[in-house]
Structure 1
Amino acid sequence: MTFGFLSPLYTAVSWIIVQFHSLYSNVFRFDPDGGWAWGLSIASMVVVIRICLIPLFVKQIKATRAMQAIQPKMKAIQERYKNDRQRQSEEMMKLYKEAGTNPFSSCLPILVQAPFFTALYGVLAKVAKGHDIGVIHGDLLLSAGKAHIFGAPLSATFVSSGETSVKIVTAVMIILMSLSQFITQRQLMTKNVDLTVKTPFMQQQKMLMYVFPVMFAVMGINFPVGVLVYWLTTNVWSMGQQLVVIHNNPTPGSKAFQHRQERLKKAGRLRPDGTEIKGALWGMLPPSKAAIEEAASAAAVVEESVRASRQQPRRQTKAQRQQGGAAQVTEEAPAEPAEDAVPAESGAEPAAKQTAAKAGGPKQGTRQQPKRGGQRPKKKS
């Protein structure tokens, strides 16, 4: 039976499952037809594939962080050139080139993983239906068909099975699968996201935190038990892998990064510039005592210089205050005006009134009667 260009992957995946089944059956003495032998074989095969894909996972993390870091600049370019699509595209490509990333960099590892997971899903689906695939055929296929996990056959699904026990087992596995997916995404959002930058990328991740578990739960009712084992193992591996990344290499600016810096500072493994003092074997071994002492002395020098720079302005300010106080004491006080002094304007006003009175002018406060026209003055007798 041919499977097109995925045929080599189907063969490789089925071969790995058979090898682990032989290991658990012959070495660990599990029942060859039992669910534990086949279930652990599926889980072990998932672990092997995920270990091989660790370099791609690391590359995906770096690409995702780079895209997250340039989100504010991308938004600014979109706002600035919202009416010029061509100029906007040119500026975006220039930004990607400067940052050394692009949107496809974070998606490329997922695309590379897709054929492996598709082949794995295809093998499990064919085995669950009793069809030959790869190196699983004949007695091995019959053995896989007899395998049960907690009373549920590997080929059983929540929808197709009418037994209550099978529905309970599949429902529990679906819940665990969705819950592990939610926990993995939530710990990424709450611990390993730069809180100093608010971008649409964060909103998308927050939305996916709820969308993916619901989507897995809806699709899970049609998954065979063997496929549920695969997805559950994958999610648990992703959750553990994410915890390791958050603990050892968190995103700068996140809560996990702050906690890591505090741990390194307490352990004396933090340089003054904020970088970690790593040991041999790519940091797997603890750093030497000499390196820690050197970093501690450098930190002490930096701390002393900072303390001195803070104290120097205070001393200068105190000296300036003393100098200013002495100058204020020696300065002459301004003369106070006499209480009986009369302003010039107020003294000039009475003098003007006296002059006007001597000249026979009208008294202040009296009103002159206008003379009638044509009237002669009376003669004195």
Structure 2
Amino acid sequence: MGSSDPLLIYGATGYTGRLLARAAKSRGLRPVLCGRDEVRLAPFATDLGLEYRVARLDARLEEALRGIRVVLHAAGPFSSTCSPMVSACLRAGVHYLDLSGEVAAMEGVRQSDAQARERHVMLMPGVGFDVVPSDCLALHVARRGRGARRLAIGISGLEGISRGSFRTVAEGVGQTVSIRRRGELRGIPPGTLVRAFDYGQGPRPSIAVSWGDVCTAYYSTGIPDITVFCEAIPSFQMMLMANRCFGGMLATEAGHVWLEALARVMPQGPTEAQRAAGHGIIVAEAEDERGHCFQSRLRTPEVYTFTCTTGLAIVERVLAGDLEVGFQTPARVYGPDFILAFEGVSLEDLSAPEVSVNGHTWAAGPAGN
């Protein structure tokens, strides 16, 4: 077995963790694979010819970071897992990256900004599909229209989710949807905000959701009002209805036991063929105080495949010393054009759209450059 790179992938036996490990090896990287279940971890690492370390997310986690410069944290739900990993990275002086798209978890990471600067450590959550493409697109539209006060982001291409993503969604059952207004986070009832986005085949209804850009886009662009929407595909509408009708019950201990049992019988995630055929679409719209809108649309490869691509590209940047210490966002450090360097990505600037919010439609304002 060859020597390992100073990169540790935590959560390497999960669906996304396995994709990351294989993709890392194909890029010529030799990460150390880490997780808490040696029974699953050891044979997977051995098959790839990679080093592995067994560690739980507790006070001894720091021992697993010996000789490591960068951690790519892929074990969710991040609301439970990121705090102990961030703490261990700060103690060990290790740069922290994760795949979170959870607003509360990202804001929690930001609370360690001052300590990270003291330790000369970068903390960058959201280096996968959540939120690299949307963060870059948000900064792109913000720069198209200077002085933007409102940002709306629409996301399509989430038809297939992994067990881990389902568990993250299940954690949010019974909770409010996070949006940002006047720079502050607010919670609104699920289903309160509905509007249309054109993902390339005409306007499609989309529903406001808690998504990482409510955190990261604010720090990348400075725009004080931010809402993120997802296309209202049937499975998403069913989850929303269940949340409305049974959210209180599902949020109980018995409800979480039932949701966990449901997660265990789900497929681990999209198949290789499904990933090859899929793609993501993101639309970002910035509006200034005069009502002028600047809208752009980004197309990417399938979300799990692209998560590996962007996550490992940022890993390579950090290993090469291309980083800024403290809490950071992808677009702020690497710029809005970072996303355009990847194969299968295309960007289109759009004219001023007609906007439909909760059944009302109007012209959003003249287009501008």
Query: Considering only CA atoms, is the larger Rg found in Structure 1 or Structure 2?
Result: 1
TM over 0.5: no
- Structure showing the higher helix proportion among its residues: 1
Greater RCO (CA < 8 Å, at least 6 residues apart): 2
TM-score by length of 2: 0.19
- Structure showing the higher strand proportion among its residues: 2
TM-score by length of 1: 0.19
